[in-house]
Amino acid sequence: MKRVMLSEITEHVRNGKSIKNSSDGTGLPITRIETISDGTFNQNKLGYGGVKDLDKIGDYWLQDGDILMSHINSPKHLGKSALYEKNELDIIHGMNLLGIRPRKSEILPEYLNYYFLSKDFDSFIKSISNQSVNQASFAASKLKKLEIPLPSLSEQKAIVAKLDRAQRLIDIDREMLAKYDELIQSVFLEMFGDPVRNPKGFDKGTIRDIVSETKYGTNKKAHETEGEYPVIRMGNLLYNGEWDFSDMKYCDLEEKELPKYLVHKGDVLFNRTNSKELVGKTGVYREEEPIAYAGYLIRVRPNDKATSEYISGYLNCPHGKLVLEHMCKNIVGMANINAQELQDIKILIPPIELQQDYELKVNEIRKQKGLIESEINISEELFSSLVQGFFG
């Protein structure tokens, strides 16, 4: 099969437009790294900025079929791409993402975007990247020299159709996972009622009343491979309270530091510093092996008035998320909620027996989620095999 350079089959491969973000979240929609962080084009993660002269934007408005790619990121996420499909909203291609515009008469955007998932592409990206411990990057000029297998348009359509079907199976399972997250929230509201109205008449207090301690994590430098203990960082804790342990770093702790900086099964972790949208992420650590945790996190241990699952459920329910958002609504850039502010958050205090019943229900739902996650892992392995079969 013939191979062609990316520059031969694209209108352009270029950096985005440099536009200053507005301080109040208003203005024209602009892409940013977070827009494609999950491998899809997420319109809910756009930035906004002001441009006095719209003519200066030129052809930096995104077009249907444009592909955005991360070219400055952690090594794990470098080269991640997403396909843009035009809708009613006009969006500017912003800086920190490369924009690739395929010539549709020669290559299907969907085909090209699937190729970017191949090991062939991954090897090329590693060969052109400048990497440090935490950051990696490559230039658009180097990406243009990428050689891509180019079958006929009819063959491209057939490949895209097969990969679309395989991807759809994964998407269906992921949608099912999201339903289980919704079910957990529904169970919370059913058992405890709306936290604002408190229809069940539970006692009221603050988080301070139901915890025995809140402690910050270690500030020791974490390493890619060296160190006795894996370290949970803020990126390992997801917005919905779940965990991603696929990208871990390590550190050493002295014996006297272990009680302060190890998190154990049943502890709650709270993300105290992050972007405004993500600060306040909360999750229960459910693994058997103790693990270290970084300084951007707060370890929370409940007393005999509360369970970990209840505290996490409260802060992850819509009301809890809204409270956390309002606590840092005037912050631009990185936001912070310290341990004292966390403890001052108002919370309902239901009977401990009811909280324990909630925990049992959550654990049963999580078992079902685990089965779906196993199916997703199998489907993703099959999808990856298909990609390698088509692209080598």
Position 330 pLDDT exceeds 60? no
* pLDDT at 52 (0 to 100): 62
Instruction: Please indicate, yes or no, whether the overall pTM of this predicted structure exceeds 0.85.
Output: no
* pLDDT at 332 (0 to 100): 59
- Domain boundaries in the chain? 3-150, 203-349
Domain 3-150: assigned CATH number: 3.90.220.20
Count the Cβ atoms, other than its own, within 10 Å of residue 4.
14
Task: With cut-offs at 50, 70 and 90, classify the pLDDT of residue 133.
Answer: low
Task: With cut-offs at 50, 70 and 90, classify the pLDDT of residue 27.
Answer: confident
Is 140 in contact with 15 (CB distance < 8 Å)?
Answer: yes
* pLDDT at 22 (0 to 100): 73
Domain 203-349: assigned CATH number: 3.90.220.20
* Torsion of the alpha carbons at 195, 24, 338 and 242, rounded to the nearest 10: 60
User: In the predicted model, what is the mean pLDDT of residues 29-46?
Assistant: 91
- Give residue-wise pLDDT tens across range 92-117: 999 889 999 999 999 999 999 999 99
Cβ-count burial 239-276 (b if 16+ within 10 Å, e if not) = eebbeeeeebbebebeeeeeeebbbeeebbbbbbbbeb
* pLDDT at 316 (0 to 100): 95
What phi and psi, each to the nearest 5 degrees, are found at residue 290? -60, 155
What percentage of residues in the chain have a pLDDT greater than 90? 81
Position 84 pLDDT exceeds 80? yes
Task: Locate 295 and state its tokens.
Answer: 């300084």
Q: Do domains 3-150 and 203-349 have the same CATH topology?
A: yes
Q: Which range has the worst mean pLDDT, 19-33, 160-174, 262-276, 305-319?
A: 19-33
Is 357 in contact with 211 (CB distance < 8 Å)?
Answer: no
Structure letter (DSSP) for residue 309: H
